[in-house]
Structure 1
C-alpha cells in the first residue's frame, strides 16, 4: 500500500476486496476513488459510492429458455441429420445473454462448433455486435447488372478476362482504383487504420476469392435480357476487421460474461469500441460494394455492352440495425423495405450453378425476423461430399450435373464440392421460401454459365511450395 498526503492510496486490491471484477474500467474507478478520498470522503463512503458501478457478469440462459423460429422442412434423411445439428447449435447460441430472438432459414446448415451461429441463422441482439456472428467473410454479397441483349458468351469471356479468383490480390500494374475518400476514412477508423488492411484494400479491389464465390451469367425469364451476377465478400480487409473485432470482443467477454462461448463474444454498442466497430462495418460495406461495381463495370466496358439496365445488390454475413436491436444475419438476407439507404426492394437468392438465381421481393416475415435465405445451403460438409464422390471423376460429375452450361474454374481444377450435388435441393428451398412466406419471387435468371475459383490449394500449401 502507498500513501499520499498521509492517506492510504486506494488500489485495485481495494476494489477487488470490495467485490469489483477486474477489467478495463479499473483505472477510472481507482482514479475516481482517490479523487473522492482527496476531497475528504471516508473509505466506507467511497466504497458505497462505487457500489453501483460494479460490473456484474452476465450468465448464460438455461437451454431452451429462449426459443427460435424454424423456417425449414425435412425432405430427405440428410436433411434430418443436418437439421438436428442446426437445432443443437441454435439451442446453445440462444443462451447468449445479449440475444432476444432467433430464426433459421431453409438453407440452414452448421458452420462451426456447437453454439456457433449456423449458415442461414439470424439473431437479434440488444446493445451488442457479435463479430463471430457475421463471420470473417464480412458483407458477403451479391450484385446483378442487366446487360440488355448482350451475348452471354461474350459477357462471360469478358468477365473472365477482367475478374480475379483465388488467393491474394492483384499484382502491381493490374490493380483497380480505390476511392481516396474511402481510403482516408479507413485511416480515420482505429479498426481499419492498419498497414496490412490499407494495403489489402488496394490489392484486393476487383478480386473474388475462392470457395463458393462466383460470377454467373444468365438470362431473365421475364424479359429475355442478359444478366451478370457476382458473389463475394470483403476479402482481406474484412477478414482483418473480423480478427481485430474478435480480439476486442474477447476482452469484453472476459469482463462481462466469461461463461459466453468465445465465438459469441460481443462488443457493447454503447462503448467507444462499439461505435468504432459499427462505423468500420459501414466502411467495409462501402468497400465491398465498390469491389462488385469495379468487376461489373470492367466487364461492361470490355464486352462493349450498349444497353445496360439496372444494377442492384444485397448483402448477407452482416449486422443490421432495426429499432434498438442489432440483427446478425449469417448467410441470411434482409427482407424488409429500407433496410439500407441503397436498398431497392429487390434482392437475389442464388441456388447452384445449374439453377436460376432468384430475384425476389422480401416480405418481412415475422418468423424469419424480417430475413430470407441467401442461397441453397448444404446438408453435409464439403469433405463428406468428396467422400461420397470418390468413385466418380470430377470431369464426369461436371458433365452429368451441368451438361449444356459453360462452367469455368478460373484459378484451379474442378471443385466438385461446388457442383449442384454439394447443395440442398433447389426445388425444396424454393418451395420453403414460398410456404413460409419469406419472399415473393419476381424473376428467375436462368443460367448460361459461371466462373468459380476452382480447387485451389490452401494458401499455406502454396507458400510452403514457394519456399521450396
Structure 2
C-alpha cells in the first residue's frame, strides 16, 4: 500500500515561494484537500502556483531615470547644496515606480540620503508615496485682496485671530468644521478614527510653527493690501501621513524590500490606494477650509470689502494622465491641475521680500511644476552657528528694517530671518532663466507673524515665552 504524503505546512509554502500572511491557512487547506484526493506534493505545488506573489522589484540603475536640474550654484554654499540635492534625488529615482524627476531653484535636502528634497518633483506609475508628500500634507499658501485697508490694522486683526504653535484651539475658541467635511472624514478608512476627528476640529484655524506665516503686504499692480497665509494640514495631515506610511511599508516589504523605507508606496490600483487617494483629497479640502477660516475672520474683523482670494498647494500628489506627480515644495504649473485652480500661484521668498504672484509655464524640464519659495542652502542649526555673538534683536533689526515682524511665541526665531534662506534675487533670476514661471505681480511686505522660538515639546511645566 502506497504511503500517504506528509501533510503540507507553512514551511512547504515558504519553500515553494509563497509569502507568509493571512491567506496561508486557506492555501494549506486547499493543498491538503488535494492530497486527500490522491494528489502528491508536486501536484499540490502546481495547483497553488497561480497564487504565487509576483517577483519583488529591485532598484533601478543609477541614471536610468531622467533628472532635470533647474538650479545652478553661484557660491560655495550653493555648490554644496546642489551636490547634496542631486545626490539624494539620484537615490530617490532608483525607486522602481519612478518615471522622471526634477529639482527647482529653491531645492534643498530634507532628510537622509534618498529622501525627496524640498524643491523636488517625482513622477511615478501606479503608486502613491506618502514619504514624497511628507507629513506636512498639502502645505499651501492662500491670498486675499483685503482692499484699501490700513495694513497695520490688518496685521493687528490677524494677530488677534491667528493661532501658532503646537496643539489646537481650546474648546470655545474653535472655528467650525462643516458637517459635510466631517462626514467625509468618517467615510474614509484612513480618516475615521476618533483622534483624527478630534484633530480635524481642534486644529481648524491654526498654523503650526516652522516656516509657516501670516503675511500682510501691498500689491504693486493695484496698490491694495493683501493677506497671505502659509501652512499645511496640521494634525490631520500628520496623522494621515503616519497611517499611509504604515500601509506603504507593508507593501514595500512584499513588493520591493530593496526600496528605501522613506520611498515606500501604496499601489494606486488597490483598495488601499484608492482610499488613500480619496483621503488626500479630503485633507486638501480641510486645509483649504483652514486657510479660509483665518482669512474670513480677518475680513470680518476689519469689515473689509475683499477682492480675489485664491490658493495653491506645494506638498501634495497630483494625477496627470496615467502618472502620479509628487511635489515636495513644488507647485503645479499647468492649467486645470485642480478644479479650483485659477492659473495664478504664489511664491513666498522671505519675510523681507515680496510674495510673487506668478503664472506657471508648464515646462517639460520642470515636469510641469514651478518653485514654491526660497529654500535654504544650509540647516537651521548651521545658520544659528554662523550668527555667532550677534543677538536675535540685532539680526532682526538689520534684516527687516522698516517692517512689522511679530513672533507669536514672543521670542525671535533667527532661523526664519532672511539670512536663513537662499538669496531671493538668485531664486527669482533662476525662475526666469529656466522658464518655470512668469511673474504677474509682487506683494511688497508690510509685516508678518510667525510662530517664533518655541520651547521644546519635551519641556515640562508651563510653556513660558522665551
TM-score category, normalised to shorter length? over 0.9
After TM superposition, the structure 1 = structure 2 runs for residues 175-214 of structure 1, keeping only pairs within 5 Å, are 175-214=174-213
Partner residue, 2:421: 423
Query: For residues 28 and 110 of structure 1, what CA distance do their matches in structure 2 show?
Result: 47
Question: Aligned equivalents of 2:130 and 2:89: distance in 1?
Answer: 17
Identify the residue that residue 3 of structure 1 maps to in structure 2.
none
Q: CA deviation at 1:27?
A: 5.6
User: For each residue in 1:211-247, what CA deviation from the matched residue of structure 2 results, as whole angstroms up to 9, or x when unmatched?
Assistant: 0000001011111111100000000011011111111
Task: Compute the RMSD of aligned alpha carbons.
Answer: 2.0
The question of whether the paired residues in 1 share the 8 Å contact of 2:164 and 2:450 is answered with yes
Matched, 1:47 2:45: yes
- The alpha-carbon deviation at position 39 of structure 1 amounts to 8.6
Matches within 5 A, 1:165-176: 165-176=164-175
2:316 alignment partner in structure 1: 318
- Unmatched 5+ stretches in structure 1: 1-5
CA distance in 2 between partners of 1:36 and 1:133 (Å):
46
Contact 1:67 1:91 in 2 (8 A): no
Give 1:56 shift: 1.1
Alpha-carbon displacement from aligned partner over 1:179-204 (angstroms, at most 9, x marks no partner):
11111111121111121111111110
TM-score after normalising by structure 2: 0.94
**Is this contact kept in 1: 2:115–2:262, CA < 8 A?**
yes
- The whole-number CA distance in structure 2 between the counterparts of 1:267 and 1:36 is 35
Q: 1:171 to 1:364 in 2, by over 3 A?
A: same
> Over residues 14-57 of structure 1, what are the superposed CA-to-partner deviations in whole Å (9 max), with x where a residue is unaligned?
32121223346546655665687789876544433443443311
Give the direction of change, closer, same or farther, for the CA distance of 1:7–1:460 in structure 2 (3 Å limit).
same
1:413–1:21 Cα change, 3 Å? same
Q: Deviations over 1:99-142 (max 9, x none)?
A: 11101000100000000000000001111111111111010000
How has the CA–CA distance of structure 1 residues 83 and 14 changed in structure 2, closer, same or farther, with 3 Å as cutoff?
same
SS in 1 for 2:406: strand
Determine whether 1:403 maps to 2:401.
Answer: yes
- The one of 392, 395, 412 aligned to 1:394: 392
Matched, 1:145 2:144: yes
User: 2:435 aligned with 1:437, yes or no?
Assistant: yes
CA–CA distance in 2 between the matches of 1:368 and 1:24? 43
Change (3 A) 1:251 1:165: same
Separation in structure 2 between the aligned mates of residue 434 and residue 111 of structure 1, nearest angstrom: 25
Contact 2:221 2:442 in 1 (8 A): yes
In the superposition, relative to structure 1, how do residues 155 and 62 fare at CA in structure 2: closer, same or farther (>3 Å)?
same
- Equivalent position of 2:304 in the other structure: 305
Question: What is the CA–CA distance in structure 1 between the aligned matches of 2:182 and 2:216, rounded to whole Å?
Answer: 31
Partner residue of 2:15?
Answer: 17
Q: Residue 31 and residue 390 in structure 1: after superposition, are their counterparts in 2 closer, same or farther (change >3 A)? A: farther
What is the count of residue pairs matched by the alignment?
Answer: 460
Cα distance change, pair 379–27 in 1 and its aligned pair in 2 (3 A): farther
